[in-house]
């Protein structure tokens, strides 16, 4: 019997702002344990979503490193926000596993919503200090290994903040795809 399999999800790398990904069903927040606003990605997401986001997040907090929880997106142009707590580099161990858990847990949670697309920032590579080369390798390897388990997600976008970060991710993706 011939089984028709749907196409696998594609990985996209772009330079941009995570709050401006109107065509992504879900965006991922590089959150803090309390799921409050803050600097970096979390600050930008909470500002763009409006105060209802903090209200919706309160009963979901606190979360541990590697975990992912979901909320509505309020004023953002997306359907949901998935909040992931990345490891603080040098403090939360094993940092590689905890960072990989963020990507895997976020993808599985997104797929449960039966949506098609998700956009990630480079979790832990800002205030939490994770080295970017290493973070890129973990992010892309984990995304790649999660793809066969996904039922509805077809686009997984990494939104990098600048050209230098994009170059790091492009280099790693080329190695990993080979
Ligand atoms: N869009 C895409 N990427 C961004 C944006 C944006 N708007 N803003 C920053 N980046 P960070 P973390 C990049 O610090 O390291 C917060 O205060 C940034 O250049 O947001 O996981 C939370 O409340 C970096 O490469 O997240 C936590 O306390 C990457 O996104 C803590 O920071 C992640 O930077 C989380 O730290």
Q: Where are the domains of the chain?
A: 10-177
Nearest one of 105, 100, 93, 110 to 140, comparing CA atoms: 100
Cβ atoms 165, 133 nearer than 8 A = no
What are 162's two structure tokens? 């600048």
d(CA 85, CA 105): 11
Q: Across the chain, what does the average pLDDT equal? A: 97
Peptide bond just before 41 cis, omega within 30 deg: no
Distance 76 CA to ligand 1 centre (A): 17
Q: Quick: pLDDT tens for 40-94.
A: 999 999 999 999 999 999 999 999 999 999 999 999 999 999 999 999 999 999 9
What pLDDT is recorded for position 1? Answer: 64
Cβ of 20 below 6 Å from ligand 1: no
Nearest one of 6, 3, 8, 7 to 107, comparing CA atoms: 8
Distance 86 CA to ligand 1 centre (A): 10
Distance 19 CA to ligand 1 centre (A): 12
Cβ of 17 below 6 Å from ligand 1: yes
Cβ of 131 below 6 Å from ligand 1: no
> Rounded to two decimals, what is the model's pTM?
0.97
Place of tokens 């606003």: 37
Cβ of 65 below 6 Å from ligand 1: no
Place 4 in a pLDDT band, splitting at 50, 70 and 90. Answer: confident
Distance 114 CA to ligand 1 centre (A): 27
Cβ of 32 below 6 Å from ligand 1: yes
Architecture of domain 10-177: 3-Layer(aba) Sandwich (3.40)
- Rg (alpha carbons) of the chain, rounded to whole number: 15
Cα three-residue angle 122-125-128, rounded to 5 degrees: 130
Q: Quick: pLDDT tens for 98-145.
A: 999 999 999 999 999 999 999 999 999 999 999 999 999 999 999 999
How far are the Cα atoms of 66, 85, 86 from residue 127, in angstroms, in the given order? 16, 12, 10
């Amino acid at each position: 019997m011939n089984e028709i399999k749907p196409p696998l999800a594609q990985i996209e790398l772009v330079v941009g702002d995570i709050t401006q990904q109107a065509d992504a069903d879900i965006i991922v927040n590089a959150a803090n344990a309390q799921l409050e606003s803050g600097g970096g990605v979390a600050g930008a997401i909470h500002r763009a979503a409006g105060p209802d986001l903090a209200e919706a997040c309160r009963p979901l907090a606190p979360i541990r490193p590697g975990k992912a929880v979901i909320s509505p997106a309020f004023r953002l142009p997306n359907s949901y926000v998935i909040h992931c707590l990345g490891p603080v580099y040098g403090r939360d161990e094993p940092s590689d596993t905890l960072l990989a858990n963020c990507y895997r847990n976020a993808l599985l949670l997104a797929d449960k919503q039966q949506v098609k697309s998700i956009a990630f920032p480079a979790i832990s590579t800002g205030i939490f200090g994770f080295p970017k080369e290493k973070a890129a390798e973990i992010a892309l390897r984990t995304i790649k290994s999660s793809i066969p388990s996904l039922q509805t997600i077809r686009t997984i976008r990494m939104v990098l903040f600048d050209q230098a970060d994009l170059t790091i991710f492009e280099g790693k993706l080329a190695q990993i795809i080979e």
